[in-house]
Structure 1
């Protein structure tokens, strides 16, 4: 079997969960079938990279992406048996490729455009284009992979034209050998963290979806002496970047320090170190199809405090591997207070936090290894080629 896998992100350029998913999925699939990776952006090893046509360099970002999609579709080898696209960035490329070569198209839903209306402030009219491209890809695809049961429900709601039998739930995975507990707490000192004091950690992009401003508000209510580590990068807009900067400055002043902000994406080994020694990892997302970073934290043996949105409850077992906090967009102050209370619960009982972290790692090993996810994905491919 020869697969063309189409993606926006691919190493070393990864900024979100979709890129992590593709990175590790390709590693496993390549052990079993031939995989040709096509990605957006600059040239890199292991993939064929595509950039916008020169005539579109000054166009709306969404239009540049769609132009690049056409170049990507044209580059897929005619001997390809199946095409698999990831996110709206390559969905239209997958659709056109399938038509050109009369082959099946699989698309993985890492998020849905109708569920992210705040992207209009990032893309302007391009948001209508990205939404259109996603609808075309999803409604025509031979199979749609949802990264959670929650996401599958969102797909049915947004795109009722997609027949239920074409939707397959295959969770994100985690490399439990790589994301494993680090045994040297002193290692975090080089990253600005005092290993002798407790800390909580956030890892994610600076985007409305990830809810970072809610966490910053909640942190005003945390116990004194607790360090707050923010691995927050890649702001969607200058406006949200300025908003977060102001809130971080306010929090730092109110707490008299203890806020450590890494504004560039850290290498994975450093993230593993920071995740491993935190009392809790916090995911304050207001929309999250699964939240792969929750799996990474759990695999590092760290308890997770997270919103109860999307697919997160499928990853975080409440009261067992972490604590879930109900998100209600009509009562944000209560959500932020409850988020702070959940974090404080684990800070006040570090033994319980460690027990939850250990349970989370056990579950990650049993249920979320990438070899499991790759086997399930390959089974979908084979079902379409019979």
Structure 2
């Protein structure tokens, strides 16, 4: 027998993910980062998430296997979202201590706002830990498009550029974001275009409930068009209510609109619905992803929009893929990359962000509901081209290469 002791196992690698949004909170960011943590765990890493406590009443969702989630109370706005710089700071200031005391990781992954990135850069420099920035958009562009004062925009851009310049690696969700990152001075060799997507295990064409969609026990009969997700000023989702009201006499007598989610523009959308189409527009509120998927499976079409000329024409909203993954075509109101993709890949129809153009699009959609064959094609295309699982795996491989580890 050999007296040689077995070689000790190398310590497991550790990743810390910093985000104000994580499941069970419903958002594209929380879904994207949950998938990323799962991919790290599947690669054999220990993963810790530093995030916030979800709003009261949020549906309970189990944390991913192999992922430890630490939650912190934060300030939220009237819509129960962490939106606004006071709310951001309620997360960022305690984050300094949270990052200092967490067991030293091999890498930290964070995403906007830039104030969170500022904390991460400073603490990671003190602890000599590389960090990765996950860029779903460019916040200084968003501040400008929202009409923020010039000094505020310049301050946000300065902080964002400084955070980006210190990142070992930057993950970008589309070509438009990559282009904006390069204009902010990010070194091209540090940027990885990973794309974006949806959880096709949740948003899929199967397990369609019978008898119409249900939320909180209230059945809504078909046909209807569904908007699912955040409603902010730059999305301009009120255009669907205004277009719908123009053609009520040309649509099926029981046709409706459904708006799932929340956002700063929700009160104005409700007011427009009450004035222009009373009793024909429903607002079920924020629902868990499986319920949102159920609504979209039954919809005649899914509604997605971005106001042109606001600095977001490069964006490709995940709302598109959440719909097509369930087999539902999209009616997109806007221009740019998303409109081009919808038309090029036959994912639905793109029209101008204009009430009259939307009205005609709704007439065409309700007149020709998608066939089973079309629904199957849309779901297959989404699984192949917009799977969040594949996006996360590619992101993890890129992070490992960036910090000098085998992928």
Distance 1:193 1:336, change over 3 A: farther
Quick one: which of 179, 186, 195 aligns to 1:162?
A: 186
Q: For this pair of structures, how many residues does the alignment match?
A: 360
- Work out whether residues 176 and 299 of structure 1, in 8 Å CA contact, stay in contact via their aligned partners in 2: yes
Q: CA RMSD in A?
A: 3.1
CA distance in 1, matches of 2:98, 2:145: 24
Matching of residue 2 in structure 1 with residue 31 in structure 2 = no
Residue of structure 1 equivalent to 2:100: 74
- Work out whether residues 228 and 259 of structure 2, in 8 Å CA contact, stay in contact via their aligned partners in 1: yes
CA distance in 2, matches of 1:314, 1:381: 30
- Work out whether residues 275 and 302 of structure 1, in 8 Å CA contact, stay in contact via their aligned partners in 2: yes
Matches within 5 A, 1:8-19: 8-14=20-26, 16-19=27-30
Distance 1:100 1:50, change over 3 A: farther
Q: Secondary structure at the match of 1:13?
A: coil
| TM-score between the two structures when normalised by the length of structure 2 | 0.78
- Work out whether residues 294 and 315 of structure 1, in 8 Å CA contact, stay in contact via their aligned partners in 2: no
What are the ranges of 5 or more consecutive residues in structure 2 without an aligned counterpart?
Answer: 1-12, 56-61, 76-84
Residue of structure 2 equivalent to 1:149: 175
- Work out whether residues 206 and 232 of structure 1, in 8 Å CA contact, stay in contact via their aligned partners in 2: yes
Distance 1:271 1:242, change over 3 A: closer
Matching of residue 280 in structure 1 with residue 311 in structure 2 = no
- Work out whether residues 201 and 229 of structure 1, in 8 Å CA contact, stay in contact via their aligned partners in 2: yes
- Greater helix share, structure number: 1
- Work out whether residues 210 and 284 of structure 1, in 8 Å CA contact, stay in contact via their aligned partners in 2: yes
Q: Deviation digits for residues 214-269 of structure 1, max 9, x if unmatched? A: 22222223443321111131x33xxx44423311211333xxx221111x311222
- Work out whether residues 148 and 314 of structure 1, in 8 Å CA contact, stay in contact via their aligned partners in 2: no
- Work out whether residues 6 and 39 of structure 1, in 8 Å CA contact, stay in contact via their aligned partners in 2: yes
What are the ranges of 5 or more consecutive residues in structure 1 without an aligned counterpart?
Answer: 54-58, 328-334
Distance 1:267 1:125, change over 3 A: farther
Q: Secondary structure at the match of 2:103?
A: coil
- Work out whether residues 259 and 282 of structure 2, in 8 Å CA contact, stay in contact via their aligned partners in 1: yes
Matches within 5 A, 1:282-301: 282-286=303-307, 287=312, 289-301=315-327
Quick one: which of 80, 87, 96 aligns to 1:61?
A: 87
Matching of residue 266 in structure 1 with residue 266 in structure 2 = no
106-115 or 60-69, which moves further after superposition? Answer: 60-69
Q: Deviation digits for residues 106-154 of structure 1, max 9, x if unmatched? A: 1011222222237868999977765544332122212211111122123
Matching of residue 336 in structure 1 with residue 362 in structure 2 = no
CA displacement at 1:308 relative to structure 2? 4.7
CA distance in 1, matches of 2:92, 2:201: 37
CA distance in 2, matches of 1:51, 1:180: 33
- Work out whether residues 276 and 301 of structure 1, in 8 Å CA contact, stay in contact via their aligned partners in 2: yes
Matching of residue 37 in structure 1 with residue 49 in structure 2 = yes
- Work out whether residues 328 and 378 of structure 2, in 8 Å CA contact, stay in contact via their aligned partners in 1: yes
| TM-score between the two structures when normalised by the length of structure 1 | 0.82
Distance 1:274 1:125, change over 3 A: farther
Distance 1:60 1:382, change over 3 A: closer
